[in-house]
Structure 1
Amino acid sequence: MRRKLISIALLIIDMIIVATVPFIALIIRFEGNVDFHYYSMLLNYMPAIIIVRLSTFYALGLYNRLWRYASINELLTICSAVTVSSLILFAYMYTTGSKLPRSVHILSWFFNIGFIGLSRLVVRIMHYLRQKRTKQSAKVLIIGAGDAGAMIAREINHRYYDTKRLIGFIDDDQYKNKQQLFGAAVLGNRYNIKNIVIEKQIDEIIIAMPSAGGGAIREIIHECKQTKCILKILPGMYELIDGDVTIQQLRNVEVEDLLGRDPVKLDVEQIAGYLKGKRVLVTGAGGSIGSELCRQIAKISPSSLTLLGKGENSIYEINSELREKFSKLDIEPIIADVRDKERIHSIFSQVKPQVVFHAAAHKHVPLMESQPMEAVRNNIFGTKTVAEAADEFGAEAFVMISTDKAVNPTSVMGATKRVAELIIQNLSKRSNTKFVAVRFGNVLGSRGSVIPLFKKQIAKGGPITITHPDMQRYFMTIPEASQLVLQAGAIAKGGEVFVLDMGEPVKIIDMACDLIELSGLVPHEDIKIKFSGLRPGEKLFEELLTAEEGTASTKHQKIFVANLKVVDEKKLYQGLVNLESIKHSDEVIEALKTLLPTYQNPKEKNCYIDEKISVKNHPVDHIVHIQTVPDLS
């Protein structure tokens, strides 16, 4: 009801404006000495002027907008409505023999835009003055006075004025210092954050720099952590694929933001070239990487997307999500096991996928150490089954997700993934399908990864358990890994094993301390850290390449090609025959060692550390006992 009353009021105001403006234009044109017959002529045309103007305004939506949120788009709409109605009136008057000077039409156009725009501005000003900011409104400081920061500031002022109050911005650009944006000034750079927070009594800090480098984000978070403010961050550009920024996308700062990784820059046209309009199949589509691959692929508009997985719940979830977001896309969920040769053959014969992403695998190192036959069946023969089906049914490209644990493997999981790499390298030599593998390290937030485990342990009050104080790993985020996999598929020629730039390795204990601090707690005081010893098959340090391999660069700065030796087809075939014939788990290790000379199960001895370990300025003042790890070799 209130909205209708506002619309009626605006309609009446517009009627007065469009009826008055022609007379104002006439007076200005003749400098006050207007011949009476011009007034008479205008009065004769007045009904047409009012009807044409108001009808055009209504047709172009001037009466169904929330003018309290008016912006440049609404101003452009006013200009368009006045221009269209002016052209209609000019044509009508010209054809009916009007003798009004042309300058009167031009002045009327100008004054109509000005007065109607002013009337809408008054609505917005009245709404602004009526806003009630309570004493409980959180005082907000935005870091980043660029496009993203401006969008967040505008939303705070227009939609969240009752709960948040924008105090100012932080930006390192000296040109922006002291400049005003949405009624708030740029107060300083990142090194002034602590002082500004104290001076302005800031309650909440929002980091709005989605395209900033990882190192800069890490420094800013470090400065912000010295305050007691609520800290929110806008996701990086690899999460904001469509470029849209809203306050709903703000989230708490996570460990991912502290990795110091720069945003991924994708060649979207190159990726679209091999996926758009194609039939795409993803195995392991319900998993962390598989499901994210599906999300990214769906945005590129393939002709169809087949979601293949063994777990019905996870496939149901990703299928429901994609159908809601991409209702026009042909999506087919299929429950199947990649080890079932007949089933996979049947699926490929029906779907005939042109591009296959193979993400199905057993990936948990300790679990696979105790169940090596399952790792062999799934990671080796499952890959072999899907890859051979892709070859038989003429797929254009086959991209396999591999791991850094395939390099000089010390675990069954790593060894089976290296054998899977050998299988597709060998197939590539005689197939028209482009077979490639993509190696990368740990993915933050994936199922079974260390971060969810640490969060559960913190929620319970600790302790956090880490296998070894020197343990370190390469990490990247799920969206980043998935996008680089798609990019690798675009630049593949066939037979390559791509290695993703994982940045610098991260110490697990440093990550644990960061996570504790982000939870508002103090490491070793509020949450204890205990060391449990290396688990079966684990390394202290992961590698992306062997010392002999090396890499060659590609067109993408974060993707490299491993210089691997030519696959010995005879040895590979014999090794696979041996593995397939094995009936007992204890024979698997020896068969893998025969196939992969670099595969070594580490022998761990008792280890005692009797010293102070300095961890991110948090000394551990106790003796750490590293447990004995069974000798599996």
Structure 2
Amino acid sequence: MKQWRTRLSISLPRVAIICHDLVMVWLCWHGLHWLRYAMVPGAPALPWWSTESWIVLGAQGLVFWRVGLYRGLWRFASVPDLGNIFKAGLVGLLAIAIGLVIYNRIDAVSRAALVLYPFALVGLLGLPRLLYRAWKDNQTSDVMELGAKRVLVLGAGRAAEALLRDLRRSGAWEPVGILDDAKRLHGTKLRGVPVLGELADAGTIARETAARLIVIAMPSLDATAMQRVVGICEGTGLPFRTVPRLVDILEGRSLPGELKEVAIDDLLGRKPVTPDWKLIRGWLGGRTVLVTGAGGSIGSELCRQCARHGAQRIALMEISELALIKSHEALTRAFPDLEILPFLGNCGDPAAIRRALDMARPDAVFHAAAYKHVPLLEGQLREAICNNVLVTETMARACRQAEVGTFVFISTDKAVDPANVLGASKRLAEMACQSLDERGRTRFTTVRFGNVLDSAGSVVPLFREQIRNGGPVTVTHPEVTRYFMTIPEACQLIVQAAASAAHASIYTLDMGEPIPIRVLAEQMIRLAGKQPGRDVAITYTGLRPGEKLHETLFHADELYQPTAHSKILEARAREVSGESITRALQQLRQAVADYDTDAITRILHAAIPEFSPAPEHKASSTVVPFPTREARTYR
């Protein structure tokens, strides 16, 4: 009974709409003929009901149904619906003409009425729909609570139009004005909301309109323009949000209509790199991949990217029980049809590797498991070499024996002219993978990139926690810079490299200009609604062990050439002696077994002549005065 009532409640309004439209068709047909013959004295009157009337109603009603006129809702009627009605009128006119020709060769039918019919039909069908929507919108405005939050919108484009519609529909928000730098729009209205001035007027207009929230509705802004807009919003002292970018919605990181805080990656000094999705899907489609370190920031995002772009089965290898559970559950929720094989174990254990490779039989392996914290590894040389070098070589050798199609080693920009243990261990691991590539079944590929925003243990979560606790925010040096990319961008680069890789290849990303860490800290403080130097202090502590002021992306001896992607470069791998690398790895295994760090250091320097440890810098706790507001500029 309940199901029958539900169907009835859905069917009755639709039947009423069909009846309304057919009545309008009848009025349109007879009204046009009445107007036509009313101008001719003595012309015969068209009968109210005739065979012609039934042909008109039947033909037009069938066309309405076929063009999908009843799939939409009057509540959201808009210009596209009017276009659909006009299309239905034109097709209906053709169907009516064919029917009348067959019936009576269109005798006693006005040719002028036929020409005017589609246009009149648009008015008779479209006007009631638009009036109904206006009435419903007005009703929503009338029932808005008196405490609805007043919103000032920045931008008067398509994103703003969609935002205003959503705000009005929610009933909890009241748009009070729009700001846009296009002077031609000043004084106009968008969905009834006036465009009051330029973006720079936000402070004054926010006070005049008693706004309580600012929404940035310009998702296509580049980083420089977004920095300016954020500065304007900060100057008002009001909280501010932004509409998500289209790419974030398509990638599932944001929902349509969602208002989100401005993220630090929105303020990066370059546009994110867009991969070749066709190439990636063509390579990944139906394949099986295995990801080591699948519970980490990079590993878990790699799994999501592979699942999103067509992988049929994903094997997760992770030494942390909790991280494996979280990654497995997240993938299961997001991709219920994906086959997932979790393996708990150390990817440096040959037996565990063989078991995972035998069960999963992957087409590609992404080796993301590694230690990566620079200052910590300076005092943990043995563990860095064991995990970053020996485990990688064990994993790579097992993949070659299992004839895996592609082995992707995830490296770092710190492997270029290494100045710390992390960089040296990653460089030696690159060389080990290169020495294993014998142009056989397995392609060994290395992907290098810079710091990853918001990854576990990175500077962004640290700054966020320090800001939350009221400061100070600790920066190592006023002039230190780093290259940054987002986690999804880094993983897309990895997958792109795997899809197009050659044997023993090294890929790196043209990451634009490095970002000063001081500026990053300043922007994060401001995004938290605070002022640097006033609400949260910035303390310079000195470079930590193994750290450099500036990182290097490219090595002088690696001739870089462009690839099919404009922002991805392929380095010509430097020649390495497979025999010397094998001998160095054997010596390292013995030194690791003996816990002989002096021997490990000697072997590392011998294998990597360019390894030059950075000099130690004495840390300080001096709070450097922050520039005045007038002197500060975004970079």
Question: What range is the shorter-chain TM-score in?
Answer: 0.7 to 0.9
- Report the 3-state secondary structure (helix = DSSP H, G, I; strand = E; otherwise coil) of the residue aligned with 2:290: strand
Q: Structure 1 residue 23 and structure 2 residue 30: aligned?
A: yes
What residue number does 1:623 align with? none
Q: Does 1:101 align with 2:109?
A: yes
Cα distance in structure 1, aligned partners of 2:587 and 2:79: 71
Do the aligned residues in 1 keep the contact of 2:177 with 2:195 (CA within 8 Å)? no
Q: Which runs of 5+ in 1 are unaligned?
A: 620-633
Cross-structure match for 1:629: none
1:137 aligns with 2:144: no
Q: Work out the percentage of aligned pairs sharing the same amino acid.
A: 35
Alpha-carbon contact 1:338-1:378 (below 8 Å) kept: no
Q: Hey, what does 1:406 align to over in structure 2?
A: 415
Looking at structure 1, the residues matched to 585 and 550 of structure 2 have their Cα atoms a distance apart, in angstroms, of 29
Letter of the structure 2 residue corresponding to residue 473 of structure 1: R
**Selected match of 2:462 from 453, 457, 465:** 453
Choose the corresponding residue for 1:183, options 168, 192, 199. Answer: 192
Alignment partner, residue 280 of structure 1: 289
Matched, 1:148 2:159: yes
Counterpart check, 1:364 vs 2:373:
yes
Superposition map of 1:12-51 within 5 A: 12-33=19-40, 39-40=46-47, 42-44=49-51, 46=53
Q: Is the aligned partner of 1:537 residue 2:550?
A: no
| Equivalent AA in structure 2 for residue 182 of structure 1 | R
**Does 1:165 find its partner at 2:172?**
no
Other structure's SS at 2:384 match = helix
Structure 2 counterpart of 1:624: none
Distance 1:316 1:468, change over 3 A: same
Q: 1:113 to 1:394 in 2, by over 3 A?
A: farther
What does 1:480-499 align with in structure 2 at a 5 Å threshold?
A: 480-499=489-508
Shift of 1:170: 1.8
The question of 1:353 aligning with 2:376 is answered no
Name the CA distance, whole Å, in 2 between partners of 1:245 and 1:351.
32
Shift of 1:537: 3.0
Of stretches 524-533 and 284-293 in structure 1, the one that deviates more from structure 2 is: 524-533
Task: Show CA shifts across 1:163-209 (max 9, x none).
Answer: 131511424x5665655443345555544444444454443332233
**CA offsets, 1:452-480, max 9 Å, x none?**
12222222223333344444322221122
* 8 Å contact kept, 2:89–2:117: no
Contact 2:290 2:366 in 1 (8 A): yes
**Contact 1:26–1:34 (8 Å) recurs in 2:** no
CA RMSD of aligned residues (A): 3.6
Given that 1:152 and 1:247 are in contact with CA atoms closer than 8 Å, whether structure 2 keeps it comes out as: no
Q: Quick one: which amino acid aligns to residue 314 of structure 2?
A: L
Measure the CA separation in 2 of the matches of 1:239 and 1:52.
45
What residue number does 1:631 align with? none
Amino acid corresponding to residue 428 of structure 1 in structure 2: D
Counterpart selection for 1:613 from 618, 624, 627? 624
Structure 2: distance between partners of 1:105 and 1:407? 77
- Aligned pair count reads 616
Greater shift, 222-231 or 389-398, is seen at 389-398
The partner residue of 1:70 within 70, 77, 89 is 77
Residue 239 in structure 1 maps to residue 248 in structure 2: yes
Q: Which residue of 2 aligns with 1:559?
A: 568
Q: Which residue of 2 aligns with 1:593?
A: 605
TM-score by structure 2 length? 0.85
Cα 1:62–1:554, aligned 2, differ >3 Å: closer, same or farther? closer
Q: Does structure 2 retain, via aligned residues, the 8 Å contact 1:140–1:168?
A: no
* SS of match in other structure, 2:569: strand
**Structure 1 residue identity aligned to 2:241:** K
Residue deviations 1:590-613, cap 9 Å, x none? 332232223344442646698x83
Q: Distance in 2 between matches of 1:289 and 1:244?
A: 16
Deviation at 1:120, TM superposition (A): 0.7
Q: Is 1:574 aligned to 2:586, yes or no?
A: no
Gaps of 5+ in 2: 1-5, 631-635
2:536 corresponds, among 527, 532, 538, to: 527
Cα distance in 2 for residues equivalent to 1:616 and 1:488: 42
Q: Give the C-alpha shift of residue 107 in structure 1.
A: 4.2
CA distance change for structure 1 residues 302 and 73 in 2, over 3 Å: closer, same or farther? farther
Shift of 1:564: 4.5
Secondary structure of 1:225's match?
A: helix
Does the aligned pair in 1 maintain the 2:145–2:171 contact within 8 Å? Answer: no
Aligned position for 1:441: 450
Matches within 5 A, 1:218-257: 218-236=227-245, 238-241=247-250, 248-257=257-266
Question: 1:207–1:462: structure 2 CA closer, same or farther, 3 Å change rule?
Answer: same
Cα distance, 1:594–1:5 mapped onto 2, change above 3 Å: same
SS of the equivalent of 1:149 reads helix
Distance 1:307 1:114, change over 3 A: farther
Q: Does 1:503 align with 2:515?
A: no
Alignment CA distance shift 1:505-1:28 (3 Å): same
Cα distance in 1 for residues equivalent to 2:183 and 2:97: 50
Structure 1 residue 326: Cα displacement: 3.5
Name 2:385's counterpart in structure 1: 376
Per the alignment, residue 424 of structure 2 pairs with 415
- Residue identity matched to 2:162: M
Q: Distance in 1 between matches of 2:154 and 2:629?
A: 28
**Contact (CA 8 Å) 2:328, 2:340: kept in 1 or not?**
yes
Partners of 2:269 and 2:515 within 8 A in 1:
no
| 2:465 alignment partner AA | K
Distance 1:160 1:401 in 2: 45
| C-alpha displacement of 1:32 | 4.5
Are the aligned partners of 1:7 and 1:64 in contact in 2 as well (CA < 8 Å)? no
In terms of mean alpha carbon deviation, does 532-541 or 45-54 score higher?
45-54
SS of 1:377 mapped into structure 2:
helix
Tell me, in whole angstroms, the C-alpha distance in 2 between the residues paired with 1:517 and 1:46. 70
Residues in 2 aligned to 1:296 and 1:76: alpha-carbon distance in whole angstroms: 39
Distance 1:437 1:245 in 2: 31
For residues 244 and 520 of structure 1, do their structure 2 counterparts lie closer, same or farther at Cα, with a shift above 3 Å needed?
closer
C-alpha distance 345-36 of structure 1, shift in aligned 2 (>3 A)? farther
2:633 corresponding residue in structure 1: none
C-alpha distance in 2, partners of 1:95/1:484?
64
Query: Which letter does structure 1 place at the counterpart of 2:31?
Result: I
Give deviations 1:493-526, integer Å, cap 9, x for gaps.
2323222223333333332232222222233333
Structure 2 CA distance for aligned equivalents of residues 315 and 515 of structure 1? 31
Q: Distance in 1 between matches of 2:194 and 2:474?
A: 46
Alpha carbons of structure 1 residues 391 and 75: separation in structure 2 relative to 1, 3 Å? farther
Q: Is residue 339 of structure 1 aligned with residue 351 of structure 2? A: no
Structure 1 pair 216–415 and aligned structure 2 pair: CA distance change class (3 A) = same
Distance 2:322 2:192 in 1: 49
Assess if the C-alpha contact under 8 Å between 2:89 and 2:122 holds in 1.
Answer: yes
Q: Are residues 210 and 487 of structure 1, via their aligned partners in 2, closer, same or farther at CA, if it must alter by over 3 Å?
A: farther
1:126 Cα offset (Å): 0.9
**Residue 108 of structure 1, CA deviation:** 4.0
Kindly tell me: are residues 536 and 120 of structure 1, through their superposed partners in 2, closer, same or farther at Cα, counting changes over 3 Å? same
Cα contact 1:284–1:290 (8 A) shared by 2: yes
3-state SS of paired residue (1:292):
helix
Q: Distance in 1 between matches of 2:402 and 2:619?
A: 54
